[in-house]
Structure 1
Amino acid sequence: TYTDDLWWQFALHGDAPRFLRAMLAVAVLLAGVALWRWLGPAHSVADVAADPARVRAVLARTDRTDAMLALTGDKRFLIAEDGTGMLMYQVRGASWIVMGDPVGDPAAWGPLLWRIRDLADRAQGRLLLYQITAPVLDLAIGMGLQIVKYGEEAVIDLASFTLDTPRLRSIRKAERAAARHGLTFRIVPAAAVPVVIDELAAVSAEWMAAKGHAEKNFSLGRFDRTYIGHFDVALAMVGDRIVAFANLWLTANHDEASVDLMRHRDDAPNGTMDFLFVHILQWAQERGYASFTLGIAPLSGIEGGRLAPAWARAAALVFQHGERFYGFRGLRSYKEKFAPDWEPRYIAGPRGVALVQALRDLSLLVGRGSTERTAS
């Protein structure tokens, strides 16, 4: 018998039975392969360049404005064979990160998500679905992914929107005060944006310098002349001078309107951004858009009670005490001034440590981008 020695000691001695040495070799090999698969980067998978015309055809079917992130030039695409739907994603490290819900016909969503799940698995990667809505949850659960609440999105019902309500008193006052400083509102259609693009670039550069920010990627737009040129742009002006702007995200079916970049000069009058928001809301309302989204307040609406999961308690703690690093509560408070409805948004990803690794890759992707940019 071999009860007086540890099993691996037998494998290290020349007189140990051959099968024990073989067992050790196999165990080490398997452990090495498992560790490499766990920590290693995803193998590259050949991309088929997405036809911009096909991407735009799917965008024409969307009822969500965040689908316009397809035009940022930093994403890959999977497009349904019949052209009725697509999803956008990028690979960072070993993480395959899908941005938002799939776009287009909901009947195409399931096959697209299973297809990227298969691609990620073949590449020994991990899949993360970022900022998804409730309709995607069943699909994500069916794929075996862990669901984590990310935050809440502020949505305004434009059919009932009015400034003449006590809840919007502070916005009403700010807009009127800004107007007294001579602010005027103007919409520049996408076709005419090249005429003002140099001045927009100057406003953007001034705003970036004042904030000390770098441009973000993937989940946010960035000031890029080609990208901005895809959209109508709303202006706040004093005389003939642009003091603030926002590019507009608009769905073709008028289901939703929103803004992406909102930037202003250092000397813009107080209340300029409130002025711009109010006039954009009224402009969209007059043109029959059903809703307007103010975007997501990350980590908001997450209960961090004693019996909540550890991630929820951590998120609630950061939301309450992380103001100096991001301004989570301030962002929610600003959006709350417009009296929106709040709708949950989620992340779905692998379980355990792999989720932390995927979130790390997501942070790097948003902060630094991917190693490639695609044509838009």
Structure 2
Amino acid sequence: MGYANVPGPRVVARCLRWGLPFGVSVVTLWLLAGQIDPADIRSIAATVQQVSSFQILGAVVLSALSFWAVGRYDVVAHRHFQTGVEAKSARNSGIAAVALAQTLGFGLLTGALVRWRMLPGLTMPMALRLSAFVCLSFLGALAFLLAVACLALPAPSGAALPAMTVLAAALLFLWVLFRSPVLRFGRMTFALPTLPAVAGIVLWAALDTVAAAGAFYLLLPNDGLGFGAFFPLFLIALGAALLSGAPGGVGPFELSLLALLPHVPAPDLLATILLYRAVYYALPAILALALCAFPQPRPFNRTQWRAPREADLQAAPRSEVGVIRQNGGALLQVAEATLATWPAGQTRVGLFDPLSGSVTPLLPALRQAARKENRLACLYKITARTAISARLAHWHVLRFAQEAVLSPMDFDLNIPSRRGLRRKLRQAEKSGITTCRATRLPLAAMTEIDAAWQEERGGARAGTMGCFCPDYIAAQNVFLAYRADDLLGFVSFHVSRQEWCLDLMRSTLNAPDGTMHVLVQQAIRAAAEARVPRLSLAAVPEVPALQRGLLGRIWRVLTKRHNAAGLRQFKASFAPRWQPLYAAAPSRTALWLSLLDIARAVHRPSLPANTHNEDEYNEVAPIIAS
């Protein structure tokens, strides 16, 4: 017996993939036909004739509202993938794609083809990703809405436990999104939707399904069934139709409604379904075909982020802006105003005061840029002057930190408030510590110190705090502490013409007391010689709003865990001037969510690939900014 003509496994799998949806429709339609008496067909026609023009018009209006919401899914999807397609073009292509896909079936491929056709310049792989994102996100939102409806509205018996399970899974999913914005599988990475994107998807799904259910409900003969009782049943039937994969959900949708609405006469229900399919499926599909004949004009409008130049960072009033060399930051520019920004997981963060110009024109630009990324907008570590401008623009402002600031040229070690510092310096001198400003970096020794420090402290911080990396630290001023020929520790400073700012502090586990103090003191002397007007020891957390009650106790536990008191004590020994720092966001909710997101990004970072580039760890390496 020969096997030459036997189809291969791939052919069989392909036939099953494309043939199964049609098989589902055939089987369910056969089951449906068994429940219909031939005499009922005339009753169906009579019921259709009894539907008023006002009912049909209302259903058309609600269907239009539903498809308007459907188009917003694509706006969220395009922002997620950063395609640069403007909202109007994304919405129109999404409406056409869903209208045709739900009627013709094979939603993933049909929707991708429509999007590819309507958006010139969009690649087919990206169109497929957009279709998959819309399909999966809608199914997830539908499951969530169905769970909420089953708990809040009259629902079939036995629905409570599955609904609570879905809600628990949804909460877990939100927690995963917040903690890990990016999933990694080997060398592959997947950017998860942000919390604002998820909120948008659920909002538009709610409007979409309520309007679609309302259109069906208007066409249904009045039998005393309230919309609140009907809505969960409609969602169940819709879910069964979508999961079946049948073209248009034909068969599973009808069979589900017949089972869920046994008190509604079958002819009346089938007449409603016929009208609904004409209004919600056939009419939009015809309009979508006409829309496909006119591709969207010039749909791409990418946000232009300017990469930071060394000249920008050297001229910055706040040298700490140099952290964007490492955290993926970019500059946002509006006319003469420039702001350093950093994309945290859920937030587009405007870092520090503007590099140039006023913050006022930058506020709407930052908000719009964040919206195009499905992110929140936030200003972080801004001074009082910028905070006042943000408040005048109706942003919510919160004081959350204090920055330790010194004037190097006026620094006097012999004042009474620095006697603790003098004691630390004497201890370091007795231990035989010598310091120097690095012109060549002993990277191998520095790497060992950083690795031991991370193991002791539970990992490095990131985001708004620098991580040890040869390329990154080479652009800073670095000071080294030795005892004999052994490196005991080092500190690094961001540098601009107007300021130096403390960044990295690392020491061996057995470094003598006062090692960090003598390193910073050496940096203050060097800054004075360079006639730098301002030296910052960076910020320590201080949130007056979290000083009392339960929140105050939680805050004290967190700050103790991260040794905030010890860090403040170290900086206070230099008797600095304490300058309050603020955060600002368009709403109070956005402000607190942004601060939580920044804290997550700092304490649970996804470090850049070049943070520890072992191939570059030579015994010595040139320092760029020596």
Fold match, TM over 0.5? yes
Match of 1:275 among 501, 518, 533: 518
| 3-state SS of 1:60 partner | helix
| 3-state SS of 1:218 partner | coil
TM (normalized to structure 2)? Answer: 0.48
CA apart distance, 1:137: 1.9
Give the equivalent residue in structure 2 for 1:7.
none
Say if 2:315 is the partner of 1:64: no
Q: Measure the CA separation in 2 of the matches of 1:58 and 1:372.
A: 25
Q: Measure the CA separation in 1 of the matches of 2:360 and 2:463.
A: 22
Give the equivalent residue in structure 2 for 1:362.
598
Flag the structure with higher helix content. 2
CA apart distance, 1:181: 0.9
Give the equivalent residue in structure 2 for 1:336.
572
Question: Which shifted more, 85-94 or 19-28?
Answer: 19-28
Give the equivalent residue in structure 1 for 2:533.
290
Match of 2:581 among 345, 351, 356: 345
Contact 1:171–1:338 under 8 Å retained in 2: yes
Call closer, same or farther: CA 1:92–1:29 in 2, change over 3 Å.
farther
Give the equivalent residue in structure 2 for 1:178.
428
Match of 1:106 among 357, 377, 393: 357
Contact 2:489–2:516 under 8 Å retained in 1: yes
Tell me, which stretches of 5 or more residues in structure 1 are unaligned?
1-13, 307-312
Call closer, same or farther: CA 1:154–1:144 in 2, change over 3 Å.
same
Say if 2:359 is the partner of 1:96: no
Aligned AA (1:158): P
CA apart distance, 1:142: 4.2
Q: Measure the CA separation in 2 of the matches of 1:182 and 1:370.
A: 36
Call closer, same or farther: CA 1:85–1:66 in 2, change over 3 Å.
farther
Q: Measure the CA separation in 2 of the matches of 1:123 and 1:32.
A: 19
CA apart distance, 1:28: 7.2
CA apart distance, 1:99: 1.9
Call closer, same or farther: CA 1:60–1:241 in 2, change over 3 Å.
same
Among all aligned residue pairs of Structure 1 and Structure 2, give the percentage whose two residues are the same amino acid. Answer: 23
Cα deviation digits, residues 230-280 of structure 1 (max 9, x gap): 12210111012211101122222xx32222101001121122112212222
Contact 1:41–1:93 under 8 Å retained in 2: no
Contact 2:324–2:342 under 8 Å retained in 1: no
Contact 1:299–1:315 under 8 Å retained in 2: no
Q: Which has the larger radius of gyration?
A: 2
Q: Measure the CA separation in 1 of the matches of 2:382 and 2:600.
A: 19
CA apart distance, 1:173: 0.8
Question: Which shifted more, 25-34 or 330-339?
Answer: 25-34
CA apart distance, 1:226: 0.6
Give the equivalent residue in structure 1 for 2:339.
87
Call closer, same or farther: CA 1:199–1:318 in 2, change over 3 Å.
same
CA apart distance, 1:37: 9.0
Match of 2:471 among 218, 226, 232: 226
Say if 2:486 is the partner of 1:236: no
Task: Summarize the alignment of residues 13-52 of structure 1 with structure 2, pairs less than 5 Å apart.
Answer: 17=55, 44=82, 45=84, 46=302, 48=304, 50-51=306-307
Give the equivalent residue in structure 2 for 1:121.
371
Give the equivalent residue in structure 2 for 1:157.
407
Give the equivalent residue in structure 2 for 1:6.
none
Call closer, same or farther: CA 1:43–1:346 in 2, change over 3 Å.
farther
CA apart distance, 1:361: 2.9
Tell me, which stretches of 5 or more residues in structure 2 are unaligned?
1-50, 85-301, 612-626
Flag the structure with higher strand content. 1
TM (normalized to structure 1)? Answer: 0.77
Question: Which shifted more, 89-98 or 288-297?
Answer: 89-98
